[in-house]
Structure 1
Amino acid sequence: MSTTFQLDTATSRANPTPAPMKRLTVPRIKQRKVDGVTAEPLVMLTAYTARQAQLLDPHCDMLLVGDSLGQVIYGLPSTLPVTLDMMIAHGAAVVRGSYHSLVVVDMPFGSYEASPQQAFASASRIMAETGAAAVKLEGGVAMAETVAFLSARGIPVMGHVGLTPQAVNALGGYMARGRSEAEEAKIIADGKAVAEAGAFALVIEGVVEDIAIALTGAVAVPTIGIGASAQCDGQVLVTEDMLGMFERVPRFVKRYNDIAQVISQTAETYSADVRSRSFPTADQVYPAK
């Protein structure tokens, strides 16, 4: 099962065409964990654009339209300024660019915390305007009522516990969580509360490995680790971190390439060609009739 491409000569852009397959669904993702075991770990990466989704889609089970786009795409200092409109615009692009992966869209800060009713209003906009299959929200025990409210109304929810970036000011920074007994107990309680409230999967971010392993064994739904443990039921990374687009990345990121250097070197070569008038050549200009 993969996405194939055809060249649209009218636009010179690659447009995905659906191969004979069905997009993964929330029940199929949940069913990957059987009796507490996920035989084949789930693969999730972030995506923010249609073209990025096209390239990642064949290799992933889920694509996360993360509010990390605030920093990655817009250069914001944190995820807090990200708006619902921003998430919807990028979520719709990712859905258009994919055919296989289940698309999950982050609910941005301030769009769901006030009440379950506020969360439903925001989540229903995301679902209707993007075509995504699910939303993701941060928080544990405090958000369990909201998770249950959304789930009961047909909106699949992915939970997110541990290091929750939207709470960075309350947490005092982006350091790993769970180094005290009290914090460990809270993370476990948060994860169990969200799972029992109806979340179909649970992101565990930036926690001590023992906690991630314990929480994975304590919930029936798949856990997706990021800075957690290989024993989680799946993994997620910010794609740009994984590709090496930034000089500084968190400890838990493995850089699989150095795309920043490739882009810089390519731009340098282009710049030299332009300044030496060796580009464009006869192959790139339109001859007279």
Structure 2
Amino acid sequence: MKNTVTTFKKQKEENSKISMLTAYDYSMAKLIDQAGINGILVGDSLGNVILGYEDTIPVTMEDMIHHGRAVARGAKDALVVIDMPFMSYQTSVYDAVKNAGRLMKEGLGDAVKLEGGREVCEQIKAIISAGIPVMAHLGLTPQSINAFGGFKIQGRDEQRAKQILEDALLVEEAGAFALVLECVPEKLAKLITQKVSIPTIGIGAGKYCDGQILVYQDMLGMFSDFTPKFVKKYANIGEIMQDAFRTYHKEINEGKFPMEENTYKIDDEVIEKLY
């Protein structure tokens, strides 16, 4: 059954945990979808793990549309949420609605996600008024990495914890259907989860959130540039892939690939006529 914003809300009400993973292409989206994962985020994290940038800042609307469309074709049941990239919604309410519409119309998403609290509530309201579901994102918001001075835990002191809690209530009031909490202390995430009626999706926010999300390259050991503390590696697919690549390289050099079973035949009479 297709996951929707309504089923996400119902899962929170029934205390049924929500599972989410990132995906950026058709093949991976199809595998994730077939595994029964509730939601797929086409994250601007593709800037790091797919495009090789140091952060998400250079990611464009065209990048998100391109990858979103591929994921949507592979996900039949999972809710597909597409990130709004840096400066696609901060500039104005008009830009926010226009770009959110492009992610739905051209990117084929089911919903969009944007970062920020009180400063983007007007954008959230306007996007929702246009009939587009919005997932909010608080805590460590990667698009604000330069303002934060690096990848740092958010909400450890009273002032910042209070601000994140207030922002959670504000984005809920603005109409967000769910809220990602990234890199905030577990007890703060628990309090926020209790205070809001919308599902919270944690990434580095502890076990009390209504759901969890990870970057699939992290949880499969496929991205080695940096591994956050909150990541659990469920398999070391990266190592398996490297072993396969080395074996492939070795067999080519040794003449072991391709073999007869990997080739196509033609009648000798046809070849003789070509000489």
Q: Same fold (TM over 0.5)?
A: yes
Partner residue of 1:256?
A: 234
Q: Distance in 2 between matches of 1:28 and 1:178?
A: 29
Does 1:50 pair with 2:26? yes
- TM-score in terms of structure 2 length: 0.94
Partner residue of 1:82?
A: 59
Higher strand share: 1
Q: Retained in 1: the 8 A contact 2:49–2:223? A: no
Does 1:29 pair with 2:8? yes
Q: How does 1:134-153 map to 2 (within 5 A)?
A: 134-153=111-130
Does 1:167 pair with 2:167? no
Output one character per residue of 1:169-193: Cα deviation in whole Å (capped at 9) or x when no partner.
Answer: 0011111111111010011011111
Q: Distance in 1 between matches of 2:169 and 2:61?
A: 27
Which SS does the other structure have where 1:32 is aligned?
Answer: helix
Q: Distance in 2 between matches of 1:79 and 1:210?
A: 28
User: Matched residue pairs, number?
Assistant: 265
- Which of 154, 164, 186 is equivalent to 1:177? 154
Does 1:285 pair with 2:263? yes
Which SS does the other structure have where 2:106 is aligned?
Answer: helix
Q: Distance in 1 between matches of 2:242 and 2:12?
A: 42
Identical-residue share of aligned pairs (%)? 46
Partner residue of 1:209?
A: 186
Which SS does the other structure have where 2:176 is aligned?
Answer: coil
Deviation at 1:47, TM superposition (A): 0.5
The residue identity in structure 2 corresponding to 1:285 is T
Deviation at 1:101, TM superposition (A): 0.3
Q: Distance in 1 between matches of 2:156 and 2:15?
A: 29
Q: Distance in 1 between matches of 2:101 and 2:266?
A: 55
Larger Rg over CA atoms = 2
Q: How does 1:108-257 map to 2 (within 5 A)?
A: 108-247=85-224, 248-257=226-235
Instruction: Kindly report structure 1 stretches of 4+ aligned residues shifted beyond 4 Å.
Output: none
RMSD: 0.9
Q: Distance in 2 between matches of 1:128 and 1:219?
A: 30
Deviation at 1:130, TM superposition (A): 2.0
Q: Distance in 2 between matches of 1:141 and 1:211?
A: 18
Higher helix share: 2
